[in-house]
């Protein structure tokens, strides 16, 4: 429910008509989304997004028990924001490529932890054969039949199709046969051509990224969508990004969740020019996403990218998912993230409970595995 104070603030700032559309369940235009980004009263904007969040999910806040696998950071692309990629693994350049045994062991060794998902993201390696990617999935599937395998961004899948002379359908079908179950949202960055030309001009275009997801949805795979914010993009370009996702979602219904990712400036080519986006910017981005993406069920605050405290605050700005235990994250930590490399289930519960929400363990398709509705402990502070 919107408080009288939020109503008054929205009226005062001329946002009454947008509020009325939201409350009536009507779709917002791109211009209205830009207006919301520019709203003066962050708390009132948050209340509106929270209204939509609670109407959809109540206090439920989703997380999963997952492990990340980054089999190689060797990459032929030269994205200016990336701190993870290396041109080769021949010298002491922090470039690495796991053998198949290492990659599979990295995942299977976590079995005792009750993990339900592996999230696989690699670099665009110039030499690895197609069998390497297929075998990674196949061997994890054989060793651990019930594990969800969320693997390979649209940028990687597009690269595989080009490099190995296959259609997107062939690439996806072979991976599905090997055991792939969903596709992560990485590689989307900002769709606007102006931005991609400047920060990632040698990987899949926006149209190609969207085409991979369209093909995946057609084959019955669910997928996620990200947006890298807080660098050279304008607010209108953020809205354009979300509008393209909303249009594809209207067409296929295959996206599960939208994940705004905060730019991390350390050890990459553009970090000196663009400091880390502020908490204010993060919160308004989550709120506008929740209000604009009326056909997305979930909005995720990836705690690794945002920090645990901001992720907790985001739960009042439209967010209903905090990702998971993560286990050994590399991409953000090479870009200066100071968050832990993993959180225990207990830490995730505390983060969620002390924001007044209910932790709900989900699987990769958002089936509820367990609702942890025990009351919060008596201490007032929550996670330190």
Q: For 38, how many CA atoms within 13 A lie in the half-sphere containing its CB?
A: 13
Q: Which is nearer to ligand V47, 46 or 277 (CB)?
A: 277
**Among the listed residues 261, 310, 313, 327, the single contact to ligand V47 using CB under 6 A:** 261
Q: Read out DSSP for 300-319?
A: B--HHHH-HHHHHHHTTTT-
Q: Which is nearer to ligand V47, 45 or 242 (CB)?
A: 242
CB of 35 to ligand V47, least distance (A): 26
Tracing tokens 């069920």 back to the chain, one arrives at: 297
Spatial separation of the C-alpha atoms in residues 185 and 50, rounded to whole Å: 23
CB of 193 to ligand V47, least distance (A): 17
- Window of 7-15, 26-34, 240-248, 255-263 that interacts with ligand V47 by CB under 6 A: 255-263
Residue 340, by phi and psi: left (phi above 0), alpha (psi -120 to 50) or beta?
A: beta
83 binds ligand V47 (CB under 6 A): yes
**Among the listed residues 71, 95, 151, 184, the single contact to ligand V47 using CB under 6 A:** 184
Q: Which of residues 92-131 bind ligand V47 (CB under 6 A)?
A: 121
Spatial separation of the C-alpha atoms in residues 166 and 373, rounded to whole Å: 48
Spatial separation of the C-alpha atoms in residues 151 and 133, rounded to whole Å: 10
187 binds ligand V47 (CB under 6 A): yes
Backbone angles phi, psi at 121, to 5 degrees: -140, 135
Q: Which is nearer to ligand V47, 264 or 357 (CB)?
A: 264
On whether the CB atoms of residues 79 and 85 are closer than 8 A, the answer is yes
Structure tokens at 301: 């605050």
**Among the listed residues 117, 237, 323, 361, the single contact to ligand V47 using CB under 6 A:** 323
Interface map 155-174 toward ligand V47 (x if CB under 6 A): --------------------
- The 8-class DSSP code of residue 97 comes to B
Residues that bind ligand V47 (CB under 6 A): 81-83, 121, 184-187, 189, 224, 226, 228, 259, 261, 263-264, 268, 302, 323, 331, 335
């Amino acid at each position: 429910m919107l408080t009288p104070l939020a109503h008054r603030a929205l009226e005062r700032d001329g946002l009454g008509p947008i509020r009325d559309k939201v409350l009536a369940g009507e779709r917002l235009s791109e211009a209205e989304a830009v207006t919301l980004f520019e709203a003066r009263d962050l708390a009132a904007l948050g209340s509106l997004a929270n209204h939509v969040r609670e109407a959809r999910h109540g206090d439920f806040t989703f997380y999963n028990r997952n492990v990340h696998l980054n089999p190689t950071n060797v990459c032929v692309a030269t994205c200016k924001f990336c701190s993870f990629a290396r041109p080769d693994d021949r010298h002491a350049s922090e470039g690495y490529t796991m053998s198949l045994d290492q990659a599979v062991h990295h995942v299977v060794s976590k079995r005792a932890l009750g993990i339900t998902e592996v999230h696989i993201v690699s670099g665009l390696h110039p030499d690895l054969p197609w069998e390497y990617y297929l075998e990674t999935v196949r061997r994890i599937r054989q060793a651990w039949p019930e594990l969800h395998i969320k693997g390979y961004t649209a940028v990687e899948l597009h690269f595989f199709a080009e490099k190995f002379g296959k259609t997107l359908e062939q690439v996806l079908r072979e991976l599905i046969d090997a055991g792939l179950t969903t596709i992560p949202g990485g590689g989307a960055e900002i769709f606007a051509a102006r931005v991609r030309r400047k920060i990632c001009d040698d990987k899949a275009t926006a149209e190609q990224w969207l085409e991979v997801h369209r093909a995946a949805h057609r084959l019955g795979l669910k997928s996620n969508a990200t947006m890298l914010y807080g660098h050279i993009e304008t607010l209108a370009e953020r809205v354009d990004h979300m509008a393209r996702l909303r249009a594809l979602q209207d067409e296929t219904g295959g996206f599960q969740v939208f994940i705004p990712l905060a730019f991390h400036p350390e050890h990459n080519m553009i970090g000196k020019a663009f400091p880390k986006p502020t908490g204010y910017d993060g919160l308004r981005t989550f709120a506008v996403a929740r209000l604009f993406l009326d056909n997305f069920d979930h909005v995720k605050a990836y705690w690794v990218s945002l920090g645990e405290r901001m992720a907790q605050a985001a739960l009042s700005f439209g967010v209903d998912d905090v990702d998971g235990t993560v286990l050994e994250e590399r991409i953000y930590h090479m870009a200066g993230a100071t968050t832990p490399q993993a959180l225990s289930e207990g830490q995730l519960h505390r983060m969620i409970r002390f924001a007044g929400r209910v932790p709900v363990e989900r699987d990769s398709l958002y089936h509820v595995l367990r609702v942890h509705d025990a009351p919060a402990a008596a201490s007032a502070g929550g996670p330190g």
